C-alpha cells in the first residue's frame, strides 16, 4: 500500500471519530496494511474505549514496538493493565512513561498530531494509585508529594484529593486520556490529497477573425499585487538570527501579542525593547515575553556535552536561590541589615550537594565520603527533628526500588554521586509530624515574579524551608512561594526567622 493510500485511510478514520462513528474508524484503521506506531496507538485507544482490553493491550504493544520512546503509549498501556487488575505491569508502564519524560514537566504531542499534553504530575498520580493498590502506601504518598510539587497549574486539584485519600489509606480515581483523542495525519500532507487544476480555464489570447485588430499572445501578467522585491526570509532562518535564551518562570499571555512559555523552554530573542519586553520566537510562533523571565543561553556549552538519561526518580535539578536581591524593608522601620546572597554561593563549597525529598524539599551540603551517622545528623539538624525518628532512602542503580540508607550502603551511595549531587528521600517514623515554624508578617509584601508569595501585614505564614539567609519558602492563604525573611518575625517574638 502506498503512503498516499495510508494517509487517505488515516484521514478518513479520524473523520469517522469526529462524526461519532468509532466502529467505522476502527475498521478502517485495522485494514491499513502498513501501520505506524501512531496508527497502532489509535487502534489501542479505540479498543480501550470499547473496554476490549486484550485487543487494546496488543495494539499498544505493537505501538511501543515501533517507537519505544512514545511515553503516551506506555501511559495508555499502563491504564489498560490497571483496568485488567494487572497492577505490577501497570506500575512498570507508568514508571517507563515517567522515564521517557526525561525530566521535563510535560510532553506536548500537538506537533505530532495528538492534541494532548502528558504531564509528569499526572503520571506520578497514577503511579501512586497503583502503589496503593499494591499496599505500598508510603511509596504512594512519596510519589503524590512529588506530583504536588511538580504540578504546573491549579487545574490539577485532583492531585490534592489523591494525597488526602492516601493519608486515609483510600483509593482515588485513575487519570485517563479523554476518549476521542487520536493521532491525526499531517494537515499539509492531507491538503496535497485534494485534486488541483493547474491549467485553469482556457482564455482567448489570439483571434481568427480577420477584422479583429488583435493577434498574437498576451504578455505575461503578475499573478499578485505588490510583488516583494526580495524573497521573504523563512521563519526558521530568522530564529537562528536571534539570541538563544532559557525561560526561568512560567508566563501566561494576557493579550494576543504575548506568547505563553514554561520554565525550561528555549526561545530565540529577536529584539529587546526599552520597556523590558522581548520579541521572541518559540515553536515557530512569535510574540512578546518579559525579558526578566529569560536568561541567556550558551549554545556551545549545550552542544558540547553529550545527552545523558538520568535514572528514574533522579531527574530533578536542585533549584537555585533567587538571583535577585530581596526588597528593602519599608523606610523608617528597624531591623537587621540584609546579607549579600553571594556569600552563600554554593560554588564556594567543595562538598556534595544533597537534595532531600521530605514533605517539602531541602538541600544540604555534606563532604564526600562521610559516614551514615554524619549524613543523618546533618539532615536531622536541618529538619529540626530527632535523628532517631528519621529514615533515609536512596535510589539504588541495580534495582528500581529505593533502599534504606545504612552504614553498609554508604560506599554504594557515594559511588552513585553524579556532578557532585545526590538525591535522598526522608520519612518520619512513629507517626510523628513535622513541626512547621509560624511567623507573622510585619509589613505587606506584593509578589513581583510567579515564584513569590504575597501577603498582608499581620498574616500568619507557615515556613516550609529556608532558601538562604535572605529568603524563606512558606505557605499563606492557600498559596506557596518565597518571601524576604526581613518582612516577618517569629510568633515567639524573634525579629528574623532562622
pLDDT at 231: 54
pLDDT band at 335 (very low <50, low <70, confident <90, very high): very low
Q: What percent of the chain has pLDDT over 70?
A: 75
Residue 27 pLDDT > 80:
yes
If one counts every other C-beta atom within 10 angstroms of the C-beta of residue 279, the result is: 18
287-303 per-position pLDDT tens digit? 998 888 888 876 543 33
pLDDT at 271: 87
pLDDT at 133: 93
pLDDT at 201: 62
Residue 371 pLDDT > 60:
yes
Torsions phi, psi of 421, nearest 5?
A: -135, 145
pLDDT at 471: 84
Strands (E), 26-120: 106-108, 117-119
211-268 per-position pLDDT tens digit? 555 544 444 445 555 555 555 544 444 445 678 888 888 887 878 888 888 888 888 8
Question: To 10 degrees, the CA torsion angle through 166, 167, 170, 171?
Answer: -10
Mean pLDDT of 328-334: 57
Q: How far apart are CA 64 and CA 47, in angstroms?
A: 16
- Chain centroid offset of residue 300 CA: 25
Q: 349-384 burial string, b = 16+ CB within 10 Å, else e?
A: eeebbbbbbbebbbbbebeeebeeeebbebbbebbe
pLDDT at 94: 94
408-422 per-position pLDDT tens digit? 888 888 888 888 888
The highest-confidence range among 142-151, 331-340, 397-406, by mean pLDDT, is 142-151
Domains belonging to the chain, first-starting first, are 3-167 (1.25.40.10), 235-297 (2.30.30.40), 341-428 (3.10.20.90), 437-490 (2.30.30.40)
If one counts every other C-beta atom within 10 angstroms of the C-beta of residue 247, the result is: 20
Residue 308 pLDDT > 50:
no
pLDDT at 310: 41
Q: How far apart are CA 402 and CA 392, in angstroms?
A: 10
Pick the more confident residue, 372 or 465.
372
**Least confident among 51-65, 189-203, 380-394:** 189-203
**Least confident among 103-112, 286-295, 445-454:** 445-454
Amino acid at each position: 500500500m502506498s503512503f498516499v493510500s495510508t494517509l487517505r485511510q488515516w484521514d478518513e478514520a479520524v473523520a469517522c471519530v469526529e462524526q461519532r462513528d468509532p466502529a467505522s474508524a476502527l475498521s478502517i484503521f485495522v485494514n491499513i496494511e502498513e501501520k505506524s506506531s501512531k496508527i497502532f496507538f489509535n487502534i489501542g485507544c479505540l479498543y480501550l474505549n470499547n473496554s476490549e482490553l486484550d485487543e487494546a493491550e496488543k495494539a499498544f504493544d505493537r505501538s511501543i514496538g515501533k517507537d519505544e520512546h512514545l511515553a503516551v503509549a506506555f501511559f495508555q498501556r499502563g491504564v489498560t493493565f490497571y483496568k485488567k487488575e494487572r497492577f505490577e505491569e501497570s506500575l512498570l508502564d507508568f514508571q517507563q512513561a515517567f522515564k521517557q519524560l526525561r525530566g521535563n514537566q510535560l510532553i506536548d504531542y500537538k506537533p505530532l498530531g495528538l492534541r494532548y499534553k502528558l504531564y509528569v504530575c499526572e503520571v506520578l498520580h497514577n503511579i501512586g494509585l497503583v502503589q496503593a493498590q499494591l499496599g505500598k502506601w508510603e511509596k504512594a504518598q512519596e510519589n503524590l508529594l512529588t506530583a504536588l510539587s511538580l504540578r504546573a497549574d491549579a487545574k490539577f486539584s485532583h492531585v490534592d484529593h489523591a494525597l488526602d485519600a492516601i493519608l486515609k489509606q483510600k483509593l482515588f480515581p485513575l487519570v485517563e486520556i479523554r476518549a476521542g483523542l487520536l493521532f491525526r495525519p499531517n494537515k499539509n500532507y492531507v491538503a496535497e490529497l485534494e485534486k488541483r487544476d493547474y491549467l485553469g480555464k482556457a482564455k482567448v489570447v489570439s483571434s481568427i477573425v480577420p477584422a479583429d485588430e488583435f493577434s498574437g499572445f498576451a504578455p505575461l501578467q503578475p499573478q499578485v499585487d505588490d510583488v516583494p522585491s526580495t524573497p521573504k526570509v523563512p521563519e526558521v532562518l530568522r530564529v537562528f538570527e536571534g539570541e538563544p535564551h532559557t525561560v526561568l518562570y512560567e508566563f501566561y499571555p494576557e493579550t494576543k501579542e504575548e506568547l505563553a512559555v514554561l520554565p525550561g523552554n528555549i526561545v530565540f530573542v529577536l529584539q529587546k525593547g526599552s520597556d523590558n519586553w522581548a520579541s521572541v520566537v518559540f515553536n515557530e510562533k512569535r510574540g512578546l515575553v518579559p525579558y526578566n523571565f529569560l536568561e541567556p543561553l550558551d549554545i556551545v556549552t549545550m552542544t558540547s556535552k553529550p545527552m545523558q538519561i538520568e535514572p528514574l526518580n533522579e531527574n530533578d535539578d536542585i533549584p537555585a536561590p533567587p538571583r535577585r536581591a530581596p526588597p528593602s524593608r519599608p523606610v523608617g522601620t528597624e531591623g537587621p541589615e540584609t546579607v549579600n546572597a553571594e556569600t552563600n554561593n554554593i560554588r564556594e563549597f567543595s562538598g556534595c550537594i544533597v537534595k532531600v525529598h521530605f514533605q517539602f524539599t531541602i538541600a544540604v551540603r555534606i563532604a564526600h565520603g562521610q559516614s551514615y551517622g554524619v549524613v543523618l545528623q546533618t539532615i536531622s539538624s536541618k529538619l529540626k527533628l530527632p535523628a532517631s525518628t528519621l529514615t533515609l532512602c536512596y535510589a539504588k542503580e541495580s534495582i528500581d526500588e529505593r533502599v534504606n540508607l545504612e552504614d553498609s550502603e554508604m560506599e554504594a551511595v557515594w559511588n552513585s554521586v553524579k556532578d557532585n549531587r545526590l538525591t535522598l528521600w526522608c520519612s518520619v517514623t512513629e507517626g510523628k509530624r513535622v513541626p512547621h515554624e509560624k511567623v507573622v508578617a510585619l509589613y505587606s509584601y506584593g509578589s513581583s515574579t510567579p515564584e513569590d508569595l504575597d501577603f498582608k501585614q499581620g498574616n500568619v505564614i507557615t515556613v516550609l524551608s529556608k532558601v538562604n539567609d535572605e529568603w524563606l519558602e512558606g505557605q499563606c492563604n492557600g498559596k506557596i512561594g518565597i518571601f524576604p525573611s526581613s518582612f516577618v518575625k517569629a510568633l515567639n517574638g524573634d525579629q528574623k526567622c532562622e
